[in-house]
Amino acid sequence: MKTNVKRRPFGKNGMEVSEVSLGAMNLRMLKDIDLCKKLVNDILDQGVNCIDTARAYDSEQGSVPMISSEKILGEVISARTDIDEPLLIITKGHGYTPDVFDQHLRESYNRLQITQKDGKLYIGTTEIRLCYLLHGISEERWGSIISTNVPDYAQQVKAEGRINFVGFSSHQNDGPTIQKAIETGKFDACELPYNVYSDILGEGGPVDLIKLAGERGMGVINMKAYNGNGSVAIFKQLKEVTGLGYTEMTRFCLSNPYVSTIDAGVRSLAEYLENAAASGMPLLSAEERKEMRDRASRVSPYLRTICRECMHCLEKFECPHGVNFPQMLGVHGRYQVSTSLGYATLTYKDEFKKATGNFNECVECGQCLPWCEYHLEIPTMLKEAINDLA
């Protein structure tokens, strides 16, 4: 299929992948199954051959319609007959023991409609390569992964042809665990956060783990290229100060030679194209990258304490009191940054009203706290948001 998006080697795994791929986590935010399918089809029409999803990328329980990223992908790809090259499908499960690994892999097979024939994997008539990741490894999860020998088990599953590549994803605070995982030599790929605002797992950290993984031949999937989950309003606002839009943020990541692909979490083809406009641009020099980082650092302090609207908390948690806290905190975060930068804030009260519904129902039980990837003090922040905007 013709493509405008450049390809890069997926480590030393023998496959070339679109350097800007589709991060399908945000499908659930579209809240409309037809829109989700249209978006996936539009992106496949761009010749993108790599899609990142996970068993956990479902809408909140009880949502109508219930949107499962894996199911949408399975339905779209199985209906296509025009894809003339294998697609790389990256998905993830929480299999930190062999039994759960198997159970979650089976579920992903069903949802993605994967079939096995003559040693190859397919969705419908489209051949795929399946990259299966242990989702979000941390020190605690690594203990179980190692004590139950999951890496060897995963390699066995690969040898049986049920998956093509074995990997893991992890987050900013888990550097030591990521290093241990890379050094086992038992993973073909990893998915790590890296962006112009935060390169702590790359050249800005104590160990350049992106380089370490790349040098060992692993495919490196760059998540959070936009310092959150996909295109959110805050960075459009900050572009006025930093000059860093989505194309520039993508270019920064693509200029790291160890990055194989960026999983751009988008909600429209226009967002994808804005990101992918960086594909094929000349790579930035070390000086240019430093200059970009300096510009980003002008606003970084404002970003540390606000909600990034990443919706990772909603992967596993729903407020038992029905409080729509990520949306409320998202609007308030933008309001706070606008206030700090001296921008107009008039529209935020209306936006907050739309996002809230029942903002007074937070009973400060704290159950949401462990689920925020950025360790935000959610109940306290909700009080401040209500105080400023309600």
| Contacting residues toward ligand SF4, per CB under 6 A | 307-313, 319, 321, 323, 325-326, 329, 362-368, 372-374, 376, 378-379
Minimum Å distance from CB 138 to ligand SF4?
15
**Helix boundaries (H) for 120-245:** 139-147, 150-159, 175-183, 209-215, 233-242
Judged by CB, which is closer to ligand SF4: 213, or 368? 368
Q: Which is nearer to ligand SF4, 13 or 336 (CB)?
A: 336
What's the rounded Cα separation, in Å, for the pair 198 and 175? Answer: 13
Sign for the pseudo-dihedral over CA of 368, 374, 190, 231: positive
Q: Which is nearer to ligand SF4, 190 or 310 (CB)?
A: 310
The nearer residue to ligand SF4, 85 or 377, going by C-beta atoms, is: 377
Our CA angle for 121, 127, 130, nearest 5°, is 50
Q: Between 126 and 327, name the residue whose CB sits nearer to ligand SF4.
A: 327
Q: What is the CA radius of gyration of the chain?
A: 20
β-pair type (120-123, 7-9): unpaired
Q: How far is the CB of 2 from ligand SF4 (least distance, A)?
A: 37
Cβ proximity of 272 and 266 under 8 Å: yes
Phi, psi (5° rounding) for residue 261?
Answer: -155, 150
Q: Minimum distance between the CB of residue 388 and ligand SF4, rounded to whole angstroms?
A: 17
β-bridge pairing 120-123 and 50-52: unpaired
Structural contact between residues 21 and 261, judged by C-beta atoms closer than 8 angstroms = yes
From residue 133, alpha-carbon distances to 33, 96, 105, 306 in Å are: 25, 11, 10, 29
User: Which is closer to ligand SF4, CB of 90 or CB of 329?
Assistant: 329
Q: Which is nearer to ligand SF4, 115 or 340 (CB)?
A: 340
- Shortest spacing between CB 67 and ligand SF4, in angstroms: 17
Smallest separation, CB 198 to ligand SF4 (Å): 13
Provide the minimum distance between the beta carbon of 351 and ligand SF4 in the complex, in angstroms, as a whole number: 16
Shortest reach from residue 121's CB to ligand SF4, in Å = 32
Q: Distance (Å, rounded) from C-alpha 318 to C-alpha 56? A: 13
Q: Which helix (H) or strand (E) holds 252?
A: helix 246-254
Longest dimension (CA), the chain: 63
Q: Which two tokens stand for residue 330?
A: 């998202």
Residue 296 Cβ vs ligand SF4, minimum distance, rounded to whole Å: 18
Least distance CB 4 / ligand SF4 (angstroms): 32
With a CB cutoff of 8 Å and minimum separation 6, the contacts of 187 are 151, 166, 167, 168, 181, 218
